[in-house]
Amino acid sequence: MLHNITFEMKAGEQVAIVGPSGVGKSTLLHLLGGLDRPTSGDVIANGKSLAQLSPDQLADVRNRDVGFVFQFHHLLPEFTALENVLMPARLHGDDKPETVERAKQLLADVGLSHRLDHRPGELSGGECQRVAVARARMNQPRILICDEPTGNLDGEAAASLQALLERLARDEAAALIVATHNLEFARAMDRVIRLHEGRVDESARPSP
């Protein structure tokens, strides 16, 4: 449960959410991304009050304005990497040739242009997470929300994904918010929000 949490993020800002397991990091991200609704208070995203939106409107916001990357990639196993990346666009009927080309370019951006036709079972854990990042970017979201995105990766793959997320958010001026136990990852962010027992304990960059 979260209590009296108030903060703002600007376009292009990179923010880490840190704290021990069970303090509400994932809950906070789910509220920010419109996956859950708060019992009180509100979330304003791109000038829209999420609390005032209908379920269909909220689903549209999640699809168009927010990109999600979770600890587990949640790729659809029966689809190829390219088909998984295309899924957010296809959900609102966009399957134009230029959309397919964008999906291919997104996979090229994450170093997977040679893996377009591979299914998740044929990819490494790091490669699956890179596909998930490409999928999150498909509709050019203004907000990229990542919940322990490196939690299941080894050191090298985690560092590579971290650098990728930072670069993509910077290049696209998207707000990047990451829940992580990795303090090295957190230190690279512009700002850190530390949660303790469902409350903001402090907002500061961790000590080097």
Q: What's residue 204's pLDDT?
A: 42
| Of residues 125, 180, 133, 112, the one with CA closest to residue 156 | 125
* Domain-embedded: residue 127: yes
Please report whether residue 43 resides in a domain: yes
What is the domain range of residue 77?
14-203
190: CATH: 3.40.50.300
H or E element at residue 191 = strand 191-196
Measure the CA–CA gap between 135 and 171, rounded to whole angstroms. 17
Give the residue carrying structure tokens 């203004």.
142
Residue 197 backbone phi and psi in degrees, to 5: 50, 45
Residue 1 counted as domain residue: no
Task: Report the candidate in 101, 199, 186, 85 with the shortest Cα–Cα distance to residue 138.
Answer: 85
- Residue 4 forms part of a structural domain: no
User: 170, 171, 151, 175: which is closest to 161 by C-alpha?
Assistant: 151
Model confidence band, residue 208 (pLDDT cutoffs 50, 70, 90): very low
What is the number of structural domains in the chain? 1
- How many helices (H) does the chain have, and how many strands (E)? 7, 8
Please say if the pLDDT value at position 203 is more than 60: no
**Most confidently modeled of 50-59, 74-83, 124-133?**
74-83
Pairing of strands 199-203, 66-69: unpaired
Calculate what percentage of the chain has a pLDDT beyond 70: 96
pLDDT value of position 205:
43
Q: Which of 114, 104, 163, 115 is nearest to 137 (CA)?
A: 104
Q: Which residues contact 7 (CB under 8 A, 6 or more apart)?
A: 193, 200, 203
69, amino acid identity = V
What CA–CA distance (Å, rounded) separates 200 from 3? 8
Region 74-101: what's the mean pLDDT? 91
Residue 100: which pLDDT band, with cuts at 50, 70 and 90? very high
77 assigned to some structural domain:
yes
pLDDT digits (tens, 9 = 90+) for 37-54: 888 888 887 777 888 888
Asked if residue 8 belongs to a domain, the reply is no
The neighbour count for residue 81, using CB atoms within 10 Å, is 29
Is position 6 within any domain? no
For the entire predicted model, the pTM comes to 0.82
pLDDT, mean over the chain: 85
Does 157 fall in a domain? yes
What is the tens place of the pLDDT at every residue in 105-158?
A: 999 988 899 999 999 999 998 899 889 989 998 988 888 899 888 877 777 878
